[in-house]
Amino acid sequence: MEVRLGATTQRKKLRIYERHDIDSLRQLARLSEGERAAMKAVAAVLPFRVNDHVLEELIDWDAVPDDPIYQLTFPQAGMLARADLQRMMELMGAGASAEQIQGAAREIRARLNPHPAGQVELNVPRLDGRPVMGMQHKYRETVLFFPAQGQTCHAYCTYCFRWPQFVGLDDETKFASREADVLVAYLRAHPEVTNVLFTGGDPLLMRTAVLRRYIEPLIKARLPHLVSIRLGTKAPAYWPYRFVTDPDADDLLRLFEEVRAAGMHIALMAHFSHPRELEPPVAREAVRRIRSTGAVVRCQAPLIRHVNDDPRVWATMWAAQVRLGAVPYYMFVERDTGAREYFEVPLARAAEIFRLAYRSVSGLARTVRGPSMSATPGKVVINGVARVGSEQVFVLQMLQARNPEWVGRPFFAAYDPRATWFDQLRPAPGGEGFFFERELQAMTRGRRPRDQARRSLPIYGASAATHAAVS
């Protein structure tokens, strides 16, 4: 299949570059030997992968090192603590063995909060009394599924909070499953679940034939409560050819159509971090083709220092998404893991960036929510900064929560201009604590109420169609 984009026909084969390619990448020849050595040292600890599309279409090499896509994809010296960077560079410069380098890298990784927000302790569900490590079930209506073949990406984001999936930190706690039957069985046992999110890694790195082995069982199961299938992906930005000229691109789009024909919604939860990712004609064609199947493209990304910490960037990106028929969905706060100190933005500044960007776009782009923290209790959004009496406070609420009864209840935190994550916030003066704290502490101690997963069940009664109408 050939797809004509403008006046030229483009067909590309995915070519991946990793740490061992750093010295041979012609684009990096402009860096000094020391800069490349630092890059390789960081890449020995945190994952690194790029492809030709990122290298040739997305990065402005004349603007390096400040170019946002370069910062988004290439390891930077500041991503490790100075002592850790020096240690890794000395080991690698002295010709240390692979085992020694990996041993030092493991020690550093273990200090980088590899599984934040209770992912292992609180999110892993159980089936027939046994944990299912290839799934997470944090919010009542949504189950996350990690297909084993989709636990890598077309390129890695340097901020990615799922970086442990890519470095083999601990295979026992790596989220991955090859068993679609287990997913179906779990959904049958949990009628409160209305949608499944395939995530990773990037499930769209898989060939369509492999992806079918996971999605077709959901179609054939005809579960009346299953409304939506979501695919968390960066492919429209990092490898849009997946939907346009890859050999199985048409089959992928047919699979989307089959989900729709089965009466389910299908959504691509597309990670666009910067408007430049939407500029190549092939990226715009990818979005068009996805939407032609009846699938919806919902766009999300974290707010990242060095990449998109500017309200003009977000306003431009949201407007471009609307122009393409995609839906601005979330601005996240960068999670407290990995190279967090390099990327984090104070919450007060994040709220102001969101406000300034939000007021700059039309109502069609104001579907976006944020800035939102995917913290242990739930998705906590900062609605703004206000004054209560003589005190300045953050106005917060949960968009999702471990207990659905917590959702939508405003609460206040003391204003802290330096705080960058939810666990650094304290209740506003006069409060005895956040309203959910006691119940959350019970959950973390293993005293989760038996009925909590099914508490406040969806408001529909007889059919999933009714629920879809009111959701």
Write down the pLDDT at residue 2. Answer: 44
Please write the tens of the pLDDT for every residue from 167-223: 664 544 444 457 889 999 999 999 999 999 999 889 999 999 999 999 999 999 999
Task: Give pTM, 2 decimals.
Answer: 0.89
List the one residue out of 42, 48, 43, 35 whose CA is nearest residue 85.
Answer: 42
pLDDT of 461: 32
**43-64 residue pLDDT tens:** 999 999 999 999 999 999 999 9
Q: Which residues of the chain have pLDDT under 50?
A: 1-4, 6-9, 117, 169, 171-176, 447-471
**CA angle (288, 15, 68) in 5-degree steps:** 65
Q: Quote the pLDDT of residue 128.
A: 87
Residue 8: the pLDDT is: 43
> Given this model, what pLDDT does residue 163 score?
65
pLDDT at 443: 86
Instruction: Return d(Cα 85, Cα 394) in angstroms, integer.
Output: 36
Inter-residue contact 111 to 336 (CB < 8 Å):
no
pLDDT for residue 110:
87
Which backbone phi and psi does 115 adopt, to 5 degrees?
Answer: -130, 80
Identify which of 246, 250, 228 has the alpha carbon closest to the alpha carbon of residue 296: 228
> What DSSP element (H or E) covers 397?
strand 391-401
Domains of the chain in start order, with CATH, are: 13-110 (no CATH), 126-454 (3.20.20.70)
